[in-house]
Amino acid sequence: MKIAIFGKRRQSPDDIRHIQALLDRLSELDIFVSVDRHFFEAMSRATGSPLPVDDVFEEDDFTADFCFSIGGDGTFLRTARRVATKEIPIIGFNTGHLGFLAEQSISEAPKMIDRLIAGDYTVESRSLLEGKGIGGKVKAGVSGWGFALNEIAILRQDTASMITVNTLLDGMPVASYQGDGLIVSTPTGSTAYNLSVGGPIVQPTAPCWVLSPIAPHSLTMRPLVVADSHIIDISVESRTDTYRVTLDGRSLILPIDVKLRLRRAPFVTKVVHTPDHNFIDTLRAKLLWGISKRDEQ
């Protein structure tokens, strides 16, 4: 078995101890371990000695049976970007905060390795959005990496004035969203930016997108769930010459004459779960559903 490890550079002393226990367990089982160079250097400085691994890699120059993401959901998103079309299953070990993607406790990492070896796990496929710029000076991907596991957001750029986001579904006009912008979310991203603007929570494997307006000028503009088989075309009207697009938090500025075309990506991100994983249980735990103040008394 071969494992590729990614992680955030800053870890707490307690998490560093758990990471060392994870590496010790991998070494005991004679599993080949390769580590992203940035994470390797940060952890080596933190521990005072080079991490005991078999290989150090950069960019997408790696192969593996599984990838470990050690951090929060942001780290998981960056790991998914690096894995990309390789479609290597990813396990998220949480050393961050809420952790909808990085849901495994880092303290339980050695036990999770034993489960991998025993085949005691499931793999869930998550859809991604692909965004392309059309017209103007942008004719390829809207950035060097035009894909998003959580969402693509269209936002006003450095002005208090609202923008108008004209949205078409397979060429059919849906709405002209006036306000601060529009979020097009994947099911995975429904618990991220989409949730903060009042969008619905969607089961991660549901074949759909969510269109959620941001601070809409009209109260009749509500979030809309559509099938992920559709192509979404977007054009923006603004008092300025540019607008902002973010893909999982990566931001770029586009000229107002550049339109966007969004569709389902031709590959998926594979997420590893324990067999007893349940999305509803995750929501109850992360969002404290069903917790009563009476229970605390």
CA distance 231 to 102: 30
* Angle in degrees, CA 14, 60, 58, rounded to 5: 60
Based on the domain organization, do 17 and 120 belong to the same domain? Answer: yes
User: Is the pLDDT assigned to residue 295 strictly greater than 90?
Assistant: no
pLDDT in tens, 179-223: 999 999 999 999 999 999 999 999 999 999 999 999 999 989 999
Based on the domain organization, do 14 and 74 belong to the same domain? Answer: yes
* Mean pLDDT (the chain, rounded): 92
The pLDDT assigned to 258 comes to 94
Task: Judge contact between 112 and 105, C-beta under 8 A.
Answer: no
CA 88, 132, 150, 227 torsion-angle sign: negative
The pLDDT assigned to 142 comes to 65
pLDDT in tens, 112-129: 999 999 999 999 999 999
pLDDT in tens, 163-179: 999 999 999 999 999 99
CA distance 96 to 126: 21
73 is a catalytic site residue = yes
Catalytic residue among 30, 36, 61, 73: 73
Residue 41 half-sphere exposure, CB side, CA atoms within 13 Å? 4
C-alpha distances (whole Å) from 114 to each of 66, 71, 120, 198, 274 are 13, 21, 8, 40, 11
Map residue 251 onto helix, strand or coil: strand
Closest to 5 measured CA to CA, from 49, 59, 70: 70
229: domain CATH number is: 2.60.200.30
Closest to 83 measured CA to CA, from 140, 4, 190: 4
43: domain CATH number is: 3.40.50.10330
CA distance 29 to 110: 11
Structural domain containing residue 64: 2-126+269-296
CA distance 170 to 182: 18
The pLDDT assigned to 294 comes to 60
Based on the domain organization, do 143 and 230 belong to the same domain? Answer: yes
Based on the domain organization, do 190 and 274 belong to the same domain? Answer: no
User: Is the pLDDT assigned to residue 53 strictly greater than 60?
Assistant: yes
User: Is the pLDDT assigned to residue 291 strictly greater than 80?
Assistant: no
How many independent structural domains does the chain possess? 2
The pLDDT assigned to 288 comes to 84
Say which range, 155-159, 193-197, 243-247, has the weakest mean pLDDT: 155-159
Average pLDDT over residues 255-270: 96
Based on the domain organization, do 135 and 26 belong to the same domain? Answer: no
Residue 98's pLDDT band (boundaries 50, 70, 90)? low
Based on the domain organization, do 242 and 152 belong to the same domain? Answer: yes
Based on the domain organization, do 164 and 221 belong to the same domain? Answer: yes
The pLDDT assigned to 68 comes to 98
Residue 161's pLDDT band (boundaries 50, 70, 90)? confident
Based on the domain organization, do 97 and 205 belong to the same domain? Answer: no
DSSP state of 117: H
User: Is the pLDDT assigned to residue 292 strictly greater than 70?
Assistant: no
Based on the domain organization, do 165 and 242 belong to the same domain? Answer: yes
User: Is the pLDDT assigned to residue 76 strictly greater than 60?
Assistant: yes
The pLDDT assigned to 138 comes to 61
Based on the domain organization, do 222 and 143 belong to the same domain? Answer: yes
Task: Judge contact between 157 and 149, C-beta under 8 A.
Answer: no
Based on the domain organization, do 94 and 174 belong to the same domain? Answer: no
User: Is the pLDDT assigned to residue 242 strictly greater than 70?
Assistant: yes
Rg (CA), the chain: 21
Say which range, 6-15, 48-57, 101-110, has the weakest mean pLDDT: 101-110
